[in-house]
Amino acid sequence: MKKIFETPLYPYERPLDLDSKDDARHVVAIIGAGPVGLSMAVDLAQHGIKSVVFDDNDKVSFGSRAICFAKRTLEIADRYGFGDRLVDKGVVWNHGKVFFDERKVYDFNLLPESGHRRPAFINLQQYYYEEYLVDRARELAIDIRGKSKVTHIEQTDEEAKLLIETPDGSYGVRADWVIACDGAGSPTRSMMGLSFTGRVFEDNFLIADVVMDANFPTERWFWFDPPFNRGQSALLHKQPDSVWRIDLQLGPDVDKDEEAKPENVIPRLKAMLGDDVNFDLEWVSVYSFQCRRMEKFRHGRVFFAGDSAHQVSPFGARGANSGVQDVDNLSWKLAAFIQGHATDALLESYNDERVHGADENIINSSRSTDFITPKSEVSRIFRNAVLDLSERFEFARPLVNSGRLSVPCVYDGSRLNGVDHLEGGPHRSRPGSSCPDLPIGDGFLLDHLGGSFTLLSVNTDIPDEVDISGLRVESLQLECSDLMQERYLGAAQQAVYLIRPDQHVVARWPTYDEISLKKAVRTALGHDV
Amino acid sequence: MKSLNVKPNIDKPDDFYASLLMAHDGLSKEESEAFNARLILILANHVGDSDVLTEALRAAAR
């Protein structure tokens, strides 16, 4: 059977632009048709903004790559219209086991909070996410150009110019805005001479996806210093289609090409899985990871999103998930600016909010890395002490860090945040946070939020709709339920929330007041008030 | 905000000190270090409060 990643999903077609005398002008040019670039195109299209997507390849990414999609990503995918496809195909997991040396020290249940449409995580090969995205992009008639490599970029105050290389020659395009979603090795970043600095970890990991019919349960198994990989770590995780993800830490100073050869990989896997387990290698990669980011994610008319802007270690599933959050953050802002509702400060807030998000991810994944791969003798002593204690004492288990799984970023302190005048309001839904989900009627709250500004009220009256300088603010008036009380009212009796198009809270009050609302909307669009 | 108690607080100081040393009897340097690490973690969990723990880290650093 041919794998999805072997089939051209956006095959090259000779573009009309090749034959035109003048360079075509686009509103938005997206570089890279990976999960981040295509999400960007879909999100913009849903806001009514057309874009063109250039990719030097014509297929989805090779191999499984990202496999853990967090709740926030699923909620964003719901907004794009393929959340159900992801969850139906994906593997939902809540249980895990932690092993140290030759013994299991404890097992855990993530016990996800109830009353949300989406689970905390699903495991799913990245190529499925990309395939569903391409399908959605097709529905929206998005112009995806395969085998179209951007070889030059320059910008003025008025526009950006790109040179595109195709199998039939090169052509130029002009664009008002460029989004560089061209991955960790971002050619755009290099062409613009921008630096990408941070922490490089001197460690290598073998990542193998194997197909096997094994009886391992749907759990995340993590080993510290196991007999089959002495002094290192290992991870086993289930994906759909009987594919299992295996991560084996290799240590520093290895020959990457040598380690990735099947004759070297297979004995390692046999030592881990046992001689009697039959498996096929689907994908193998050896890599050393890094935690780093660009100093700024916006450079004039060019925005960087996803791995091109920031990179983390894989522990915690913060790569693809944070890239999708970048898109969620940027697309409504760019759309609002293009449609004339916002100031340049709104575009600049993408940089502020997502640099904050990237730093949070980098801190979390650096800490996991320090626990998994102790850098000093004393660090190893404490790490082993935690693991020893975790077997007998529950208190030590929260200290075990094999990856802190991605949770949505809270934009505390953002200039877009308005007032928090709801006395006794829950901390979790303060301005800057993404709205917690809960069941309402036959569906869920998040089904009714996002895409536009929304005024949410509980136990109090608000107008049916509000128009603020030509921008429509939707209204959602709800009755209280126990979960609504817990997640939106806290100690208060009633509340009014203003919610951004990306489902983050702008401001909250006990009662509706038109002047306060106008002020909050203007603040959230980058205006000085 | 809670603060670190730096006044005498151990019931029987001499007994505790003797027990602490006795616990290390016969341990190699490596085993002693592992023991100390476990002990620190157990005591830190008992304290719990992050302000107090921060103050303790500072106090130990002199």
Bridge partners, residue A200, by sequence: A290
Give the C-alpha separation, A343 to A49, whole Å. 17
Closest chain A CA to residue B35: A385
Cβ contact A456:A440 at 8 Å = no
pLDDT of A1 reads: 46
What distance in Å separates residue B34's CA from the closest CA in chain A? Answer: 6
What distance in Å separates residue A385's CA from the closest CA in chain B? Answer: 5
Closest by Cβ to B34, choosing from A385, A395, A399:
A385
Q: Which residues, at least 6 apart from A84, have a Cβ–Cβ distance to it below 8 Å?
A: A78
pLDDT of A4 reads: 65
End-to-end Cα spacing for chain B: 22
Closest chain A CA to residue B32: A381
For residue A384, list chain B residues with Cβ-Cβ distance below 8 A: 34, 37
When scoring A382, A388, A390, A397 by the number of chain B Cβ atoms within 10 A, the one with the most, hence best to mutate, is: A382
Position A366, amino acid: S
What distance in Å separates residue A397's CA from the closest CA in chain B? Answer: 11
Cβ contact A450:A504 at 8 Å = no
Q: Does the distance separating the beta carbons of A396 and B37 come in below 8 Å?
A: no
DSSP class of A8: B
Query: By the CB < 8 Å criterion, does B27 face chain A?
Result: no
Query: By the CB < 8 Å criterion, does B34 face chain A?
Result: yes
Instruction: Tell how far CA A348 is from the center of its chain.
Output: 20
Query: By the CB < 8 Å criterion, does B41 face chain A?
Result: yes
Q: Does the distance separating the beta carbons of B37 and A385 come in below 8 Å?
A: yes
DSSP result, A415-473:
TT---B--TT--GGGSTTSBPPP-EETTEEGGGGSSSS-EEEEESS---SEEEETTEEE
Query: By the CB < 8 Å criterion, does B59 face chain A?
Result: no
For B18, the enclosing helix (H) or strand (E) is helix B13-24
Query: By the CB < 8 Å criterion, does B42 face chain A?
Result: yes
pLDDT of A61 reads: 66
Q: Does the distance separating the beta carbons of A382 and B41 come in below 8 Å?
A: yes
Q: Does the distance separating the beta carbons of B42 and A381 come in below 8 Å?
A: no
Closest chain B CA to residue A381: B34
The mean pLDDT values, 10 residues at a time, for chain A of 529 residues are: 70 89 94 96 98 89 78 96 97 92 91 91 92 95 96 96 96 97 94 86 85 84 93 92 91 87 90 88 85 94 96 82 96 98 97 95 88 92 97 96 87 97 97 97 94 96 91 94 97 98 98 96 94
Q: Does the distance separating the beta carbons of B41 and A399 come in below 8 Å?
A: yes
Q: Does the distance separating the beta carbons of A385 and B41 come in below 8 Å?
A: yes
A286: three-class secondary structure by DSSP: strand
Number of A to B CB contacts under 8 A, please give it.
25
Give the C-alpha separation, A217 to A35, whole Å. 29
Q: Does the distance separating the beta carbons of B45 and A396 come in below 8 Å?
A: yes
For residue B43, list chain A residues with Cβ-Cβ distance below 8 A: none
Q: Does the distance separating the beta carbons of B38 and A388 come in below 8 Å?
A: yes
Q: Is the pLDDT of residue B45 over 70?
A: yes
What distance in Å separates residue B32's CA from the closest CA in chain A? Answer: 10
pLDDT of A312 reads: 83
For residue B33, list chain A residues with Cβ-Cβ distance below 8 A: 378, 381
What distance in Å separates residue A62's CA from the closest CA in chain B? Answer: 44
Q: Which residues, at least 6 apart from B18, have a Cβ–Cβ distance to it below 8 Å?
A: none
Q: Which two tokens stand for residue A210?
A: 């194997």
Q: Does the distance separating the beta carbons of A388 and B45 come in below 8 Å?
A: no
What distance in Å separates residue B38's CA from the closest CA in chain A? Answer: 5
Q: Which two tokens stand for residue A494?
A: 């009633």
Q: What angle do helix axes B29-47 and A377-392 make, rounded to 10 degrees?
A: 60
Closest chain B CA to residue A383: B37
Q: Given 3-state DSSP classes, what are the helix, strand and coil percentages for chain B, each rounded to the nearest 5? A: 70, 0, 30
Q: Does the distance separating the beta carbons of B41 and A381 come in below 8 Å?
A: no
pLDDT of B50 reads: 97
Cβ contact A169:A231 at 8 Å = no
Q: What residues in chain A have their Cβ under 8 A from chain B's Cβ atoms?
A: 378, 381-382, 384-386, 388-389, 393, 395-396, 399
Q: Does the distance separating the beta carbons of A396 and B41 come in below 8 Å?
A: yes
